[in-house]
Amino acid sequence: MIALPDQQLVPFLQWALPRLGMRWRGFRKVRRQVKRRIARRLDALGLTELGDYRALLERDAREWAALDACCRVTISRFYRDHGVWRHLTARLPEMARAAGRELRALSLGCASGEEPYTLAILARELDLPLRVVACDVSAELVARARAGRYPSASAGSLPAAWRTHAFAEREAGVLEIAAPLRSAVAFFVADVRRLPLRTRFDVVLCRNLAFTYFDAKAQARVLDALVAVMAPGALLVLGMHEQLDDPRLAPDAGGNLPVCRRRP
Ligand SMILES: C[S@@+](CC[C@H](N)C(=O)[O-])C[C@H]1O[C@@H](n2cnc3c(N)ncnc32)[C@H](O)[C@@H]1O
């Protein structure tokens, strides 16, 4: 694989990302994955220079979709940002009681399923009626999520009892999600920029995706789409470094937790 020094990669991304509706700021600390994918793409095209790749993008509009697919950061883990999960543990039982029905949750940019399965695990531990719908733009990640097999390190932060109930260890170091949890989550492939949903949800998780990597215009469009699928009073959970200031939303959690609630 060809080497892409930062002196070439950074200016290239600063030029290309805004054309994809994304912003360089989000990628600064996590550009290694993107660098690897772009290097692989150049290899596949028989190119050795980012300058040549830029020229290709300028003359062939179809190549932008391939670059878009390179610009995805797929890092995730079970029980990521535990304060948020503790907040949901406190909030969801009263929401279920008030709703008097099964709660509906949506996980956007669900990677290999770590986030939606964490929610399903939490609901099972609390004996809460909750179904999760989860999507990612990557068909490969959605297939992995459906398979539900993980290296044991990815579940290292889960409370120990939850981990024991949630997984079977079929081979050393590989955890397989338990069948009832698998059936509590429905996965599909979708781009958060074009959400094909009509259902209203009680909890929406959109963490470490739109509000980190997208530019202001794309973020505003995603936020409109999210508000449209949130029931009044629904919770919106963001990534720890993401913030929204929107009159349709009110802060839900005290302290620094990125959880807000849709105003009625
Ligand atoms: C950094 S991971 C976050 C995973 C999880 N939400 C979390 O916080 O741990 C971002 C995920 O969003 C997905 N993604 C990127 N662009 C997307 C898009 N336009 N629509 C839907 N998913 C997208 C990536 O494939 C990746 O799995």
pLDDT digits (tens, 9 = 90+) for 128-155: 999 999 999 999 999 999 999 999 999 9
Task: Give the predicted TM-score (pTM) of the model.
Answer: 0.96
Provide the mean pLDDT of the chain: 95
Q: Provide, rounded to the nearest whole percent, the portion of the chain with pLDDT above 90.
A: 92
Contact (CB, 8 A) for 113 and 145: yes
Q: What is the pLDDT of residue 58?
A: 97
Superfamily of domain 82-262: Vaccinia Virus protein VP39 (3.40.50.150)
Predicted pLDDT of residue 261: 96
Query: Are 178 and 166 contacting, i.e. CB atoms less than 8 angstroms apart?
Result: yes
User: Best mutation site among 136, 226, 237, 259 for ligand 1, i.e. most ligand atoms within 8 A of its Cβ?
Assistant: 136
Closest ligand 1 atom to residue 191 Cα is: 20
Q: Domain ranges in the chain? A: 6-70, 82-262
Q: In this structure, which long-range contacts are made by residues 164-167, counting pairs with CB atoms below 8 Å and at least 24 apart in sequence? A: 165/121, 165/124, 165/125, 166/117, 166/121, 166/124
Report whether residue 184 contacts ligand 1, using a CB cutoff of 6 Å: no
Pairing of strands 174-177, 149-151: antiparallel
Residue 258 has pLDDT above 80, yes or no: yes
